[in-house]
Homo-oligomer: A and B are copies of this chain.
Amino acid sequence: MRKLLRDDITYEIGVDIGGTKVLIAIADDDGNIVFKEKVKTSPDVRKIIQVIDDCIQRMNIQPHTINGIGIGVPGMVNSKDGIVIDAPSLKWGNLKLKEIFSEHYRVPIAIKNDVNLAILGERYFGGNKSNNIFYIAIGTGVGSAIIANGQIIEGTNYLAGEIGYFLGKEDVVPGRINHSLEFGTFERKTSGTALTLKGKRLGYSSPELFLQYRNNNPEVGPLIYEFTLQLSIAIANVVSLLNPELVVIGGGVAESLDCIIDQIRAYVAKFTPVTTRIELSKLGGEAGALGGIACFLDYQNLKLEA
């Protein structure tokens, strides 16, 4: 997507770094997205910078017109200092990413966990300008992010939002509790990976499971019921705890969930008297990159430290 650019305006760049691909989005100060592209890359930071440089050049954007670059990383990120503490899928550990980007670009750089970046995208571009949002991302894994009092809640060690480790009493049997750091109990029930595994036994992919459910295939009923129930219990508990104005369900799996979103809403309303609004993400996989842009457009509202 390209638009004609004017010389007197400035730009914000959002970069969502994944295991094998990088999504780059560029907006003008009015929040109009003027560029968006997904590029295959490697975890080599130099190569990622090269890809971003290439996009900037193709858009004919002068370096001095860039207001800031917001970058999302799938892992544990010290957003204050811009250090990636641990990002297993990229094999990054204790990487001073902000420093590397700052040396190259000499513009404000914000580095955040990708789900924390996505909630900023949902807030600014998803039409959800609330100061109290809970965002749950269901993709390969399950993650979440919290905006409360208009701020991202990152926790004392930048680990807040690890909803994948939620568990219930039924999980307290040997071997079923979060025994590895890689996969949590809740994640093993509700992630895309979990759905793929469970669907395989019935011969369906994860999106096909929901398609079959929509078509009233009784074979997938129990599986979808269990998924819906577990997700609703987790959301209800978060709603009781945080009283968010809005819950946004995002991530790749969310694109299949319009057939059960009303059931989720009904369950949550039954499970907690604390009311909320529950929506499926309209931004899908682009929330992160758009959040990188939002870092610099939504700066004042969000009291960001970047």
Contact = CB atoms under 8 A, between A and B. Distances in A.
B238 A241 contact: yes
A240 B272 contact: no
Contacts of A222: none
Interface in A40-85: none
Interface in A145-170: 146, 148-149, 151, 153-170
Nearest to A170: B169
A227 interface: no
A237 B237 contact: yes
Interface in A102-126: none
B272 A165 contact: yes
A144 interface: yes
A33 B238 CA distance: 37
Interface of A: 130-132, 144, 146, 148-149, 151, 153-170, 172, 177-178, 181, 184, 229-230, 233, 236-238, 240-245, 270-275
29 contacts: A146-B242, A153-B242, A155-B243, A155-B274, A156-B243, A156-B244, A156-B245, A158-B243, A159-B274, A162-B272, A162-B274, A164-B240, A165-B236, A165-B237, A165-B273, A166-B237, A166-B240, A166-B241, A167-B237, A167-B272, A168-B233, A169-B230, A170-B170, A172-B229, A177-B271, A178-B271, A181-B273, A184-B240, A241-B241
